Amino acid sequence: MLPFSIQLQDGSPVSDQILGAVRKALLTGQMRAGDAFPSVRTLSQELRISPTTAHKVVLLLKDAGWLNSRPGIGMVVTVPDQPDLAERLAQITPECRALLKEAADLNLTLNQVIQHLKSL
Amino acid sequence: MITITDLHKRFRKTEAVSGLSLEVPEGQVTAFLGPNGAGKSTTIKCLLNLHRPDSGTIEVMGGDSRKLGPAQFTQIGYVSENMELPLWMTVKQFFNYCRPLYPNWDLGFEKQLLTQFDLPTGTKLKDLSRGMRMKAALLSSLAYRPKLVVLDEPFSGLDPLVRDEFIRGLLELTEQEGWTVFVSSHDIEEVQRLADRVAIINRGKLALDETSDSLQARFRAIEVVLPDDGRAPVNLPTDWLHAEQAGRTLRFTASRFANEESLAAALRGAIPTATHHEVRPMSLREIFVALARAYRLEGK
């Protein structure tokens, strides 16, 4: 069993999909700081992916500051130090602008868009 | 782990492999793909010293494939779709027979795989279903923890559950030092999540050898919308494969995609009248189909 939800799709690279799923689990609180994170072996076996890919995912998560290795325990989830809210929101502003424009073109209301975002 | 250099093998008038060179790196899963009759099994049989190459050399785990013998075979696991098994034996007798052949046979691992594969030990191999028989063959090739696993079309005809168990069993070996898998298939679907690298053989020659990541990075499905009565130019860039127009929509496969900006620039250059376009990543299977089509066109 993996502590995050994932349904691998064909299309984008497997490692990108796992990173996305892990980030989402951390955002939604499905996984929290201090939780144990599955080993490369478990990831590979549960998802039926090559251990090389599983290893890459763990390294990427470590680099991004989401994982820490604790001797004797294995990988533990950590939450990296965050820049302040304004800065983080600024990072997603271009995507949000594009989304709103697209939504307006499609004649969707802001509430409909928010509902949809929540359902993702 | 395996280095194949200019391999040739002919059966009477049929040239099965004609100048294949390929490197299989250690510690990765390499998928060896190609249509039926492309030369996959012949290559595998040559590298395991089951066929003698007409010319060319194959190095396996640092030695010449023609000198492979019992000592090396205790480090290599081989499962083939048409493997000859002693069908008169029960599953238990079969493993009893295999065990003494491998000094590194791991009894604990055998037990674990036996439970995992749910094999009936008292049944004769000839009375097992195809899937069960393949699992027995895989178990007999994994239990001694080989460094190199060579699988020749292992999944054909297996139902999804058995295929899943098979892959899981294979991944049980991953703790092994220098764990390397070389798996052939005519269908990428079976191996697309497992493969770190994809090697494609076509008409006995290597057509492609690349990591899955790099393939998925450089291939994109593109849809371009043309103005009313617009026709796409005849001479599109050569790295745009299989361009087809239906109504106002032009579809093609970009095989050297780098980023959105350079694609947009190339589109402006090639089809200035295009009104807008969409870019979509492709699955390894879609990429394989696009490549296979391109090879077939080349052959004509």
d(CA B290, CA B216): 13
Residue B251 pLDDT: 92
d(CA B96, CA B8): 38
Q: What b/e readout covers B244-266, taking b as 16+ CB neighbours within 10 angstroms?
A: eeeeeebebbbbebeeeeebeeb
| Gap from B14 CA to chain A (nearest CA, Å) | 36
Claim to verify: residue A62 and residue A26 sit in the same structural domain: yes
Under an 8 A CB cutoff, do A51 and B285 touch? no
Contacts of B29 in chain A (CB under 8 A): 50, 52
Contacts of B217 in chain A (CB under 8 A): 13
Name the domain boundary from B151, B183, B212.
Answer: B212
Mutate to test the interface with A, among B194, B284, B288 (most CBs of A within 10 A): B194
d(CA B282, CA B299): 24
How far CA B193 is from CA of A52, B135, B185, in Å, comes to 11, 20, 13
In-domain check, residue B234 = yes
A30-47 pLDDT, tens digit each:
888 888 899 888 898 888
A57-83 pLDDT, tens digit each:
999 888 888 888 888 878 888 877 666
Mutate to test the interface with A, among B174, B198, B260, B285 (most CBs of A within 10 A): B174
Under an 8 A CB cutoff, do A50 and B194 touch? yes
Claim to verify: residue A44 and residue A95 sit in the same structural domain: no
In-domain check, residue B237 = yes
Sign of CA pseudo-dihedral A78, A84, A90, A95: positive
Claim to verify: residue A29 and residue A72 sit in the same structural domain: yes
Half-sphere exposure in the Cβ direction for B236 (13 Å, CA): 22
Contacts of B27 in chain A (CB under 8 A): 52
Residue B16 pLDDT: 92
Residue B175 pLDDT: 67
- Which one, of B240, B237, B192, B182, lies nearest residue B215 by Cα? B192
- Expressed as residue numbers, the domain containing B271 is 220-281
In-domain check, residue A5 = no
Contacts of A50 in chain B (CB under 8 A): 28-29, 193-196
Strands A74-77 and A36-37, by their bridges, are antiparallel
In-domain check, residue A8 = no
In-domain check, residue A64 = yes
Name the domain boundary from B196, B212, B228.
Answer: B212
Q: CA triplet B134, B136, B140: central angle to 5 degrees?
A: 115
- Residue A44 sits in a domain whose CATH number is 1.10.10.10
Claim to verify: residue A34 and residue A62 sit in the same structural domain: yes
Claim to verify: residue A34 and residue A73 sit in the same structural domain: yes
**Domain count across chain B:** 2
Tokens 């030990």, located at residue: B121
61-120 in B: which are within 8 Å (CB) of A?
Answer: none
Sign of CA pseudo-dihedral B239, B242, B245, B250: negative
**Domain count across chain A:** 2
How far CA B174 is from CA of A19, B80, B196, B297, in Å, comes to 21, 20, 14, 39
Q: Is A95 on the interface with B (CB under 8 A)?
A: no
| Gap from A108 CA to chain B (nearest CA, Å) | 21
In-domain check, residue A2 = no
Residue A83 pLDDT: 66
Claim to verify: residue B38 and residue B115 sit in the same structural domain: yes
Residue B178 pLDDT: 67
Sign of CA pseudo-dihedral B253, B256, B260, B265: negative
- Nearest CB to A51: which of B174, B192, B216? B174
Do residues B287 and B295 touch, judged by C-beta distance below 8 A? no
- Which one, of B240, B250, B241, B258, lies nearest residue B274 by Cα? B250
R_g (Cα) of chain B, nearest Å: 23
- Which one, of B71, B55, B53, B51, lies nearest residue B63 by Cα? B71
In-domain check, residue B298 = no
For residue A53, the chain B residue with the least C-alpha distance is B196
Claim to verify: residue A48 and residue A32 sit in the same structural domain: yes
Claim to verify: residue B55 and residue B139 sit in the same structural domain: yes
Claim to verify: residue A92 and residue A66 sit in the same structural domain: no
In-domain check, residue A57 = yes
Claim to verify: residue A71 and residue A42 sit in the same structural domain: yes
Contacts of B213 in chain A (CB under 8 A): 13, 15
Claim to verify: residue B149 and residue B67 sit in the same structural domain: yes
In-domain check, residue A46 = yes
Both tokens assigned to A92: 């997603």
How high is the mean pLDDT in each 10-residue block of chain B (300 residues)? Answer: 94 90 93 88 94 94 91 92 90 95 93 91 93 91 93 86 87 76 88 89 91 91 86 85 88 92 90 87 89 78
- Residue B112 sits in a domain whose CATH number is 3.40.50.300
Q: Is B278 on the interface with A (CB under 8 A)?
A: no
Average pLDDT, chain A: 85
- Nearest CB to A50: which of B164, B196, B286? B196
Claim to verify: residue B148 and residue B275 sit in the same structural domain: no
Q: CA triplet B182, B211, B63: central angle to 5 degrees?
A: 40
* Cβ-proximal residues to B94 (8 Å cutoff; 6+ apart), any chain: B85, B86, B125, B136, B140
- Expressed as residue numbers, the domain containing A24 is 14-77
In-domain check, residue B79 = yes
d(CA B182, CA B215): 18
Both tokens assigned to B74: 């205790």
Claim to verify: residue A27 and residue A72 sit in the same structural domain: yes
B240: number of Cβ within 10 Å: 19
In-domain check, residue B295 = no
Claim to verify: residue A31 and residue A58 sit in the same structural domain: yes
In-domain check, residue B148 = yes
Claim to verify: residue B124 and residue B261 sit in the same structural domain: no
Residue B61 pLDDT: 92
In-domain check, residue A6 = no
69-88 in A: which are within 8 Å (CB) of B?
Answer: none
Judged by phi (left if over 0) then psi (alpha if -120 to 50, else beta), residue A76 lies in: beta
In-domain check, residue A109 = yes
Both tokens assigned to B267: 């589109």
Claim to verify: residue A72 and residue A100 sit in the same structural domain: no
In-domain check, residue B182 = yes
Cβ-defined contacts of A59-62 (< 8 Å, 24+) = A60/A15, A60/A19, A61/A19, A61/A22, A61/A37
Claim to verify: residue B41 and residue B112 sit in the same structural domain: yes
- Which one, of A57, A19, A59, A13, lies nearest residue B215 by Cα? A13
Claim to verify: residue B188 and residue B63 sit in the same structural domain: yes
Claim to verify: residue B91 and residue B14 sit in the same structural domain: yes
Contacts of A14 in chain B (CB under 8 A): 193
Single-letter amino acid, residue B249: T
Mutate to test the interface with B, among A50, A53, A55, A105 (most CBs of B within 10 A): A50
Claim to verify: residue B9 and residue B138 sit in the same structural domain: yes
Q: CA triplet B286, B291, B292: central angle to 5 degrees?
A: 95
Q: A37 pairs with which residues across the strands?
A: A75
Under an 8 A CB cutoff, do B213 and A13 touch? yes
Residue B300 pLDDT: 56
Claim to verify: residue A71 and residue A103 sit in the same structural domain: no
